[in-house]
Amino acid sequence: MNPPERLLDRLPEWTRSIRFRYTLLYSAVLFGLAAVVLAAIYLVLLMSLRATPVSAARGTYCPRFGDCITVITFREAERLINAQILNKLRFYSLGALGVLFVSSLGVGWVIAGRVLAPIGRITSVAREIQATDLSRRIELPGPEDELKQLADTFDAMLARLDAAFAAQRQFVADASHELRNPLAIIRTNVDVALADPDASPDDLRQAIAVVKRAGDRMTLLVDDLLALARRQQPTPEHEPVDLGAAVAEASEDFVVPAEARGIVLDRAIAEGVVVSGDREALKRVVANLLHNAVRLAPPGSRIRLATGSERDRAWIAVADEGPGISPEDQAHVFDRFWRADKARSRADGGTGLGLAIVRQIVESHGGEVRLHSKVGVGSSFVVWLPVARAAAEPAKR
Amino acid sequence: MRVLVVEDEADLADAVARGLRREGYAVDVAYDGDEALDKAAVNTYDLVCLDLNLPGIDGIEVVRRIRADGERQPPRVLMLTARDRTVDRVVGLDEGADDYLVKPFDFDELKARVRALLRRDAGRSGALLEVGDIELDTARHEARRGGRPLALTPKEFSLLQYFMSRAGQVLSQEDLLEHVWDENADPFTNTVRVTVMTLRRKLAEAGEGQPVETVVGRGYRLREGP
């Protein structure tokens, strides 16, 4: 460590403050300017006035009668007075500089304190804020100046953090709520089966079947929760993906289930559309949309899956002839854990996360997903994605 | 004692009902709020086990409406909730629920809380009921008369418990059918009379005199004194 740093460390705390440095600077500048002005005035006077000390100007006049007296000429007298004035000027100037030095320190301290007060307020609020309580705001009063802008920027950042934390808390609360129900089913069924000493094998088999159902539901839920959590991390590496091939591959898994329910799955997949993205995630988008369609569409209806591109955007569309979604529900379908019909969807294996995952994946690819639906007619989901050409160009948002 | 289980998760509702039936309660099940209110309007329940998060009419609203029925003594309400935030429980308790359990719960705890709530109506604080020389341990499911154990079926046990919680009151056959049997019991059979008869026989075999009297034309009464 070098000596100046150690010296700084030894100084009392308040000497390291901006307020102290600001006061010293202010005082030094004021003092310097005053000294320069006074010195200049003094020098100018010194040069322009001819000043002679008294001793140098003396002459003697001896009249005929009486003693000799000391005489000086008018010019000499003037010079003499000038010398005295300069003397006084020097004396008072130095005195004034001394007073100015002391008072500038005091005034500088006060002004620096006033200017820096908002920063103190910002600091104290920032200190009070814990990671878990982000409800405090600085709310700096006063004019729209730099410090107010700084405080407002802080407030805006706090508001964003607060919202993010609230969303996270809500997510955890929702997730634990969704996991508690199957857990309660498992626990209660096991408790009741174990407590019965005369339970028949059939009773036990039934209890085990219930436990298995609840376990399956939890597995799906945990998978979906993990998928969501993973997508919340910084976007994984994007690579060129042949959209048609990925969509065709994802839809393969639904041909048999659709047939089993008497539903026709029409596929119109365009070739040669390449997007930049995460292939597995994009397959999941298609799978989630088809899963809902196959689950909800009535037997004998038709599901259409199509892809294509339009200018620099690629699209995937899934249209069903299912029950449709009412306009007031359309705003909620992409929310986590939202279900059109709680009781029914839970029973047939929906986690309430499918569409939330779809939206998250699509948005992380810089795309968007739109829903067009009419009750009694059907629903169609359209996913728009930027095509890969855009990835080669400089990134733009 | 008659219990209504309201829970939209059928697998959970059925398990709770099965477990409580084995304890001798008469249990009905409702899978949503509307069904719960319908059943509560028709039958008289001593206790309602209620999930707060129901499709349709939610649990809080069910509690409110059950409480608002001023004609009858409202049933005790035990909330089951998957939300563990304090605010959810506070709302439920404020609206008139008597107790709550957070899912997943231990079934033994559920049974204990049900017993505790039903005891409140009996005006006693312990798990032990005592009328004359008859003792009933609701936690252990044991009944004794004069210290001698009684071998009762679950139905007989519930019947005796109901008599003991309302000792000295005349209880009609309809009262008994309402509180001790569930909605699957056929009101036109003589199941109440038969069960009362076997209970009286077992009580008489264990001690002196018959504590359960017949009040002609009105029903039965458990004598309070010896």
User: Would the CB atoms of A188 and B32 count as touching at under 8 Å?
Assistant: no
Q: Is the pLDDT of residue A186 over 90?
A: yes
Task: Give the mutation candidate from B8, B9, B11 for the A interface (greatest A CB count, under 10 A).
Answer: B11
Q: Report the candidate in B162, B137, B163 with the shortest Cα–Cα distance to residue B150.
A: B137
Q: Is the pLDDT of residue A174 over 50?
A: yes
* Arithmetic mean of pLDDT, B126-134: 79
Give me the residue label for tokens 């008859």.
B134
Amino acid at B178: E
- For residue A312 the two structure tokens come to 């620099």
Q: How far apart are the first and last CA of chain A?
A: 47
Give yes or no for a cis peptide into B55 (omega within 30° of 0).
no
Q: Quick one: pLDDT at residue A142?
A: 79
What percent of chain A has pLDDT above 90?
20
CA distance, residue B169 to nearest chain A CA (Å): 34
8-state DSSP, A351: -
CA B83 to chain centre: 26
C-alpha to C-alpha distance for A206 and A353, rounded to whole angstroms? 29
Task: Give the mutation candidate from B81, B103, B111 for the A interface (greatest A CB count, under 10 A).
Answer: B103
- For residue B5 the two structure tokens come to 């289980």
Q: Which of A285-294, A313-322, A323-332, A342-351 has the lowest mean pLDDT?
A: A342-351
Q: Which of A242-251, B6-15, B58-67, B131-140 has the lowest mean pLDDT?
A: B131-140
Q: Quick one: pLDDT at residue B69?
A: 72
Q: Report the candidate in B54, B35, B40, B123 with the shortest Cα–Cα distance to residue B92.
A: B54
Q: Is the pLDDT of residue A383 over 90?
A: yes
Give the tens place of pLDDT for each residue, A267-312: 898 888 888 888 888 898 999 999 888 888 888 889 999 998 888 8
Q: Is the pLDDT of residue B124 over 80?
A: no
* Arithmetic mean of pLDDT, B147-164: 87
Q: Which domains does chain A have, with CATH numbers?
A: 3-128 (no CATH), 147-232 (1.10.287.130), 239-390 (3.30.565.10)
pLDDT band at A397 (very low <50, low <70, confident <90, very high): very low
B11 chain-A contacts, CB cut-off 8 A: 185, 189, 210, 213-214
pLDDT band at A342 (very low <50, low <70, confident <90, very high): low
Q: Quick one: pLDDT at residue A395?
A: 40
Q: Are A360 and A304 a contacting pair, CB within 8 Å?
A: no
B15 chain-A contacts, CB cut-off 8 A: 185, 188-189, 192, 207, 210
Higher pLDDT, A135 or A111: A111
CA distance, residue B82 to nearest chain A CA (Å): 5
Q: Quick one: pLDDT at residue A185?
A: 93
Whole-angstrom CA distances from A342 to A73, A215, B58 are 118, 19, 12
Give the tens place of pLDDT for each residue, B52-109: 888 778 888 898 888 887 667 788 999 998 877 788 788 888 888 899 899 899 999 9
- For residue A52 the two structure tokens come to 């002679």
C-alpha to C-alpha distance for B118 and B45, rounded to whole angstroms? 11
Query: Furthest-apart CA pair in chain A: how many Å?
Result: 159
- The interaxial angle of helices B10-22 and B107-122, nearest 10 deg, is 60
C-alpha to C-alpha distance for A176 and B91, rounded to whole angstroms? 20
Q: How far apart are the first and last CA of chain B?
A: 25
Task: Give the mutation candidate from B8, B12, B79, B85 for the A interface (greatest A CB count, under 10 A).
Answer: B12
A360 SS3 class: helix
Q: Which of A129-133, A210-214, B143-147, B166-170 has the lowest mean pLDDT?
A: A129-133
Q: Give the pairing of strands B47-51 and B76-81.
A: parallel
Q: Is the pLDDT of residue A207 over 80?
A: yes
Q: Which of A169-173, A201-205, A275-279, B171-175 has the lowest mean pLDDT?
A: A169-173
Higher pLDDT, A75 or B114: B114
C-alpha to C-alpha distance for A273 and B219, rounded to whole angstroms? 83
pLDDT band at A103 (very low <50, low <70, confident <90, very high): very high
A77 SS3 class: helix
- Helix, strand, coil percentages, rounded to 5, for chain B: 40, 20, 35
Give the H/E segment covering residue A121: helix A74-128
pLDDT band at A391 (very low <50, low <70, confident <90, very high): very low
Give the tens place of pLDDT for each residue, A49-76: 776 665 555 677 777 787 887 777 777 7
Q: Quick one: pLDDT at residue A390?
A: 44
C-alpha to C-alpha distance for A110 and A117, rounded to whole angstroms? 11
Instruction: Name the burial class of residue A393, with classes exposed (0-12), middle (13-18) and buried (19+) by CB atoms within 10 angstroms of its CB.
Output: exposed
C-alpha to C-alpha distance for B78 and B1, rounded to whole angstroms? 14
pLDDT band at B226 (very low <50, low <70, confident <90, very high): low
C-alpha to C-alpha distance for A322 and A374, rounded to whole angstroms? 10
C-alpha to C-alpha distance for B34 and B47, rounded to whole angstroms? 17
A173 chain-B contacts, CB cut-off 8 A: 83, 85
Q: Quick one: pLDDT at residue A286?
A: 92
Could you give the count of Cα atoms lying within 13 Å of B159 in the half-sphere of its Cβ? Answer: 27
CA distance, residue B156 to nearest chain A CA (Å): 19
